[in-house]
């Protein structure tokens, strides 16, 4: 059933934002250790997502993961404007946006960020990410067979040209931090070698069935905060991101048993595990956002439960990214450097 617009304007009791854990970045900035995802997965309308942002802020969320490609920054911007008009200070909220793949060109990065700033009605972003390390893009709502006709592999020299512009955004004061997303260890090693401003975060898929232990450790060891997307296994993800072998962490019997023990739903266990492990989950929700925030403020998982969940990793990547492949006959693994080296062109 499609989610309903929330009609009530009654005050809603929520979570004291001071009780929500936070991460300290190498800059000293504090980022709330859970955020609200805002990708409607091609089926939740922009207005419904913006409405969820409004109510999520009213019950204590202070971190919002946005992106130009989600198509809803204008609607979310109207929500932000109202929030700030009603007394919330800009510096109390963490706003992330992302550079879409069709804007990697040196002349496009700054204007694309300015468009997000204008849509989001913000003077600056706390974090701006390069959404994918490829300039290959796809139309909204496409299926898994869609391919960009001028698709190319990862070209480090080009990525660094984009990154220099990202650095300029920091110099200009338009963004406070810059970061990467959907990267691999070999690609990040090159970026760390060549960047003037190091990535502050890396956004990556992370849930109990896809824990990415090597990449996770690499980013932590390099002072980069891991932000975990699809923390619940993205049950509402678009059709193009589904394959028969995918598994659902919220249906794992171990997660279900731990949830029963704590008297919460399995989603809460995935979120508690993420925060306690050290990543920042950004669950999307227009119906359950209150539970998702509350669960990180009380009743932590025990060391034994954390260990039991660590053993659930199935290396089950859900967002495989097939639409970004650059050559006929490739499989999605080519995007993820699974042999430990950047996949040759």
Ligand X SMILES: NC(=O)c1ccc[n+]([C@@H]2O[C@H](COP(=O)([O-])OP(=O)(O)OC[C@H]3O[C@@H](n4cnc5c(N)ncnc54)[C@H](OP(=O)(O)O)[C@@H]3O)[C@@H](O)[C@H]2O)c1
Return the active site residues.
70
> Sign of dihedral through CA atoms 63, 18, 288, 308?
positive
What is the DSSP pairing of strand 36-37 with strand 63-65?
A: parallel
Task: Decide whether 292 or 343 has the Cβ nearer to ligand X.
Answer: 292
Q: Is 231 in the site for ligand X (CB under 6 A)?
A: yes
Q: Which of 332, 289, 324, 319 is nearest to 41 (CA)?
A: 319
Task: Decide whether 174 or 282 has the Cβ nearer to ligand X.
Answer: 282
Which member of 83, 282, 301, 335 binds ligand X (CB under 6 A)? 282
Position of minimal CB gap to ligand X: 37
Q: Is 285 in the site for ligand X (CB under 6 A)?
A: yes
Range 19-48, binding ligand X (CB under 6 A): 37-39
Helix/strand/coil for 280: strand
Q: Is 319 in the site for ligand X (CB under 6 A)?
A: yes
Q: Is 234 in the site for ligand X (CB under 6 A)?
A: yes
Q: Is 75 in the site for ligand X (CB under 6 A)?
A: no
Q: Is 192 in the site for ligand X (CB under 6 A)?
A: no
Q: Is 267 in the site for ligand X (CB under 6 A)?
A: yes
**Please, what is the minimum distance in Å from the beta carbon of residue 59 to ligand X?**
14
Task: Decide whether 21 or 172 has the Cβ nearer to ligand X.
Answer: 21
- CA Rg value for the chain: 19
Q: Which stretch binds ligand X (CB under 6 A): 25-33, 115-123, 190-198, 234-242?
A: 234-242
Q: Is 279 in the site for ligand X (CB under 6 A)?
A: no
Q: Is 320 in the site for ligand X (CB under 6 A)?
A: no
Q: 307-334: b or e for each residue (b if 16 or more CB lie within 10 Å)? A: ebbeebeeebbbbbbbbbbbeeeeebeb
DSSP 70-128: GS-HHHHHHHHHHHHHTT--GGG-EEEEEE-GGG-STTTHHHHHHHHHHHHT-S-BSEE
Q: Is 237 in the site for ligand X (CB under 6 A)?
A: yes
Q: Is 71 in the site for ligand X (CB under 6 A)?
A: no
Task: Decide whether 230 or 325 has the Cβ nearer to ligand X.
Answer: 230
CA distance 160 to 106: 10
Contact 241, 318 (CB under 8 A): yes
What residues make contact with ligand X under the rule CB under 6 A? 3, 37-39, 65, 131, 181-182, 203, 229-237, 265, 267, 282-288, 291-292, 319
């Amino acid at each position: 059933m499609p989610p309903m617009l929330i009609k009530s304007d009654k005050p809603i009791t929520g979570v004291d934002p001071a009780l929500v854990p936070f991460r300290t970045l190498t800059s000293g900035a504090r980022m709330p250790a859970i955020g609200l995802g805002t990708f409607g997965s091609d089926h939740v309308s922009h207005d419904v997502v913006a409405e969820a942002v409004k109510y999520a802020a009213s019950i204590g969320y202070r971190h919002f993961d946005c992106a130009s490609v989600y198509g809803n920054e204008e609607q979310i911007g109207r929500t932000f404007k109202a929030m700030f008009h009603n007394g919330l200070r800009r510096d109390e909220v963490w706003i992330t946006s992302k550079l879409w793949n069709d804007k990697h060109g040196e002349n496009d990065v700054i204007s694309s960020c300015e468009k997000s700033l204008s849509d989001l009605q913000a003077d600056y972003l706390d974090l701006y990410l390069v959404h994918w390390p490829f300039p290959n893009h796809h139309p909204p709502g496409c299926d898994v067979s869609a391919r960009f006709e001028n698709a190319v592999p990862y070209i480090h020299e080009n990525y660094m040209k984009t990154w220099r512009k990202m650095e300029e955004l920091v110099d200009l004061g338009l963004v406070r931090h810059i970061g990467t997303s959907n990267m691999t260890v070999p690609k990040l090693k090159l970026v760390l070698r060549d960047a003037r401003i190091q990535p502050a975060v890396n956004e990556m898929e992370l849930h109990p069935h896809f824990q990415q232990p090597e990449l996770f450790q690499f980013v932590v060891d390099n002072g980069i905060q891991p932000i975990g997307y699809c923390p619940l296994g993205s049950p509402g993800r678009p059709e193009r991101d589904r394959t028969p072998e995918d598994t659902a962490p919220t249906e794992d019997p171990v997660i279900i048993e731990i949830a029963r023990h704590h008297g919460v739903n399995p989603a809460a266990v995935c979120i508690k595990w993420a925060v306690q492990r050290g990543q920042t989950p950004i669950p999307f929700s227009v119906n359950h956002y209150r539970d998702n925030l509350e669960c990180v403020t009380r009743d932590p998982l025990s060391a034994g439960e954390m260990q039991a969940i660590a053993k659930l990793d199935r290396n089950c990547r859900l967002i495989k990214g097939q639409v970004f492949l650059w050559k006929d006959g490739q499989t999605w693994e080519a995007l993820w450097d699974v042999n430990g080296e950047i996949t040759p062109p």
